[in-house]
Amino acid sequence: MSAPTLGVIGAGVIGSSVAHAAATAGYAVTLVDTDTAALDAARAAVRRHERLAALLGGRGPRPLDIRFSTDLADVAGAGFVVENTTESEPGKRELYPLLDKALAPGVTIAANTSAIPIARLAECLADPGRVVGVHFMNPVDRIDMVEVVRAPSTSDTALAAVEDLLGRMGKRSVVVNDAPGFVINRVLMPVVNLAAAVVADGVATPNQVDELFKGCLGHTSGPLRTADLIGLDTVVRTLEVLHEHYGTTEFATHPHLRRMVDEGRTGAKSGRGFYSYDGS
């Protein structure tokens, strides 16, 4: 019996992690990105994921069925697709009609977006019912909960398909209704924004902020360590999307966050954000 097939569009931190997790669950994965440097980084990331999994599992590395490609046509035969491109509505809306043409009728497209309403992406397709929101959290291999977003047009078939995918990957899910930012980021992004303000004002260090959230509220890592894992550039883009839709002050990006991104301090992936990741 052949392995189920999955296409992942976008080879960033989350995309490469989703590809690895799905391949580990037995999927034949095609990971597509137009940026060859991103694909090279994804290959290295998959090797790191597998070495860590082997170390923690007490086994040798095992071959995974992951194909890396720059050609969207290579996902044409996929039974399911996870779209994980940069958080840009114009860019995603340009991609979705291409996916609609490339994929067989009825193949579900999971939009892994931080804040863009799923209905806005689904309307770009001839069959909007095939689109469902799937918000994976970083690190994908350690967080087993996934926020699933059902747009008004999302079909029961698409919802069942994504729940099957997540079940095979060992993930739990909560299905919520569509809105900008959904639940997690509509709540989390203002918290990160205000935490950045606290640091900029000299009230507390990033570590002090996170220690209070961990010790007082039971958070695993705190808002600023979480922001570093997400990527501060993604945080800023998400805040911009939320501010565009809601227009309220809690989503207006704090200058400290924007300055950090302008300086290249985008979090764990760049080696420096609110914390240093260079081993020091």
**Which residues define the annotated binding site for NAD(+)?**
10-15, 33, 87, 92, 114, 138, 269
Name the burial class of residue 225, with classes exposed (0-12), middle (13-18) and buried (19+) by CB atoms within 10 angstroms of its CB: buried
Q: What is the dihedral of CA 110, 116, 122, 125, to 10 degrees?
A: -100
| Rounded distance between C-alpha atoms, residue 128 and residue 200, angstroms | 43
Q: State the Cα–Cα distance between residues 174 and 50, nearest whole angstrom.
A: 27
DSSP H or E run through 134:
strand 131-135
> Which segments are annotated as binding site?
10-15, 33, 87, 92, 114, 138, 269
d(CA 254, CA 232): 12
Coil, strand, or helix at residue 241? helix
User: Backbone phi, then psi, for 271, in 5-degree steps?
Assistant: 95, -10
Question: What tokens were used for 138?
Answer: 């970083």
| Count of other CB atoms within 10 angstroms of residue 2 | 5
Bond before 63 cis per omega within 30 degrees: no
